[in-house]
Amino acid sequence: MLLRLAEERATGALLRDHGTLYLSEGRIVHAESPAAPGVDVLLTAGGRLPRTGWQEAVDKAGARGAVGRYLVDSGRVGGGELEICHLGAMFDAAFFALAPASGPTRFRYGVAHWFGTVRPVSAAAVERETLRRRELLDAVWPYEAVDSAPVVARPPAPGQTVTRRQRDLLAMADGTRSPAAIAWTLGRPAFHTLLDVRRLAAAGLVDTPQGPPQEPAGAVPPWVAAISDDPDIAQLRRLRDALEATL
C-alpha cells in the first residue's frame, strides 16, 4: 500500500497499528510511533535544546506546520543538525510503523504533520532500510523476547569489558524497563537501543526476567555453528543459552 501511494504521489497520513507515516506527493516527510522517541526527545533529552525552546517552537509554528523551520530560523538548532536528527527519528519510527500488524491499515488524504517538511525520503528507501534493520537484528541475536520484555543486566565475565554507551544502557536494565522505555529515558533512537540490547544479550550481559524463549526441540540457532575453536566466556554463555532452549 505504501508503494502504491508513492506511485500515486499521494499526500496524507498512513495509519498502522504501531505508528503513522506522513506523505507529501508520494514521499515520506515524517513518521511517528509510540515505540520510538520523537525528534523532540532526541533534541531535549541530551540537553541540546531546552524543553522550553521546543515548546516555544510548537506554540508559535505548530498551527502552520512549520516547527522544524522555526527551530532553524530562530537559531535554536542548525539546519544540518535538525536534518540529521529528524531523519534519524523518521527512520526509527518507520521501522516500528511498518512492522507486521494484524490491524487495518488506513490512509487519510490531505493530512499533514505539524512539524513540517525537513527532507523528504522515498517510500522505497524507507522500506529498504526497514527490511535491512530487521535482518540486522536477527543476525545479531535471533530471539525477539528481549525487544519488548523488561531486561535485566547480568554480571560481566572476568576480563569482559563494555563501552560507555553500553554501561549507560546496562544501568537502566533493572528488570522493569523494556528497551523502548530505556530508549525514551536515555533519549536514544529505539531501533539502535534494540540493537544494543541484542548485542548485549549475545554477549551474555542482559537477559529477560522470564528467561530465554524456547525453540523447537532439536533446533539450534545458525550462529552456533559459527563459534570458533577458541571461544570466550560470552560465546560460551550464548552456546549454553542455545542448548538450554532445546531441553
For the stretch 85-103, pLDDT in tens is: 999 999 999 999 999 877 8
Buried b (16+ CB within 10 A) or exposed e, 134-143: eeebeebbeb
pLDDT category of residue 209 using cuts at 50, 70 and 90: confident
Q: Is the four-CA dihedral 163, 168, 174, 177 of positive or negative sign?
A: negative
pLDDT category of residue 240 using cuts at 50, 70 and 90: low
For the stretch 20-46, pLDDT in tens is: 999 999 999 999 999 999 999 999 987
Q: How far apart are the C-alpha atoms of 221 and 66, rounded to whole Å?
A: 48
User: Helices in the chain by DSSP H: which ranges?
Assistant: 2-7, 39-44, 51-61, 67-73, 79-97, 123-140, 145-148, 164-172, 179-186, 190-202, 233-245
Q: Which residues contact 211 (CB under 8 A, 6 or more apart)?
A: none
> Mean pLDDT score of the chain, rounded to an integer?
86
Is residue 94 a contact partner of residue 36, using CB atoms and an 8 Å limit? Answer: no
Q: For residue 5, is pLDDT > 50?
A: yes
Q: For residue 53, is pLDDT > 90?
A: yes
pLDDT on residue 37: 95
Helices (H) and strands (E) in the chain, counts: 11, 7
* CB < 8 Å & 24+ apart, contacts of 178-181: 178/147, 178/148, 178/149, 178/150, 178/151, 179/146, 179/147, 179/148, 179/151, 180/35, 180/36, 180/148
pLDDT category of residue 217 using cuts at 50, 70 and 90: very low
pLDDT on residue 241: 54
For the stretch 107-138, pLDDT in tens is: 999 999 999 999 999 999 999 999 999 999 99
pLDDT on residue 48: 87
pLDDT on residue 237: 54
Buried b (16+ CB within 10 A) or exposed e, 161-198: eeeeebeebbebbeeebbbbebbbbbbbbbbebbbbbb
Q: How far apart are the C-alpha atoms of 23 and 97, rounded to whole Å?
A: 14
Q: For residue 200, is pLDDT > 90?
A: yes
Q: How far apart are the C-alpha atoms of 102 and 129, rounded to whole Å?
A: 22
Q: For residue 63, is pLDDT > 80?
A: yes
- Confidence (pTM): 0.81
How far does Cα 2 stand from its chain's mean position?
A: 20
For the stretch 143-186, pLDDT in tens is: 888 898 999 999 988 888 889 999 999 999 999 999 999 999 99
Q: Report residue 108 as a C-alpha cell.
A: 487519510
Question: Domains of the chain: which residue ranges?
Answer: 2-135, 141-245
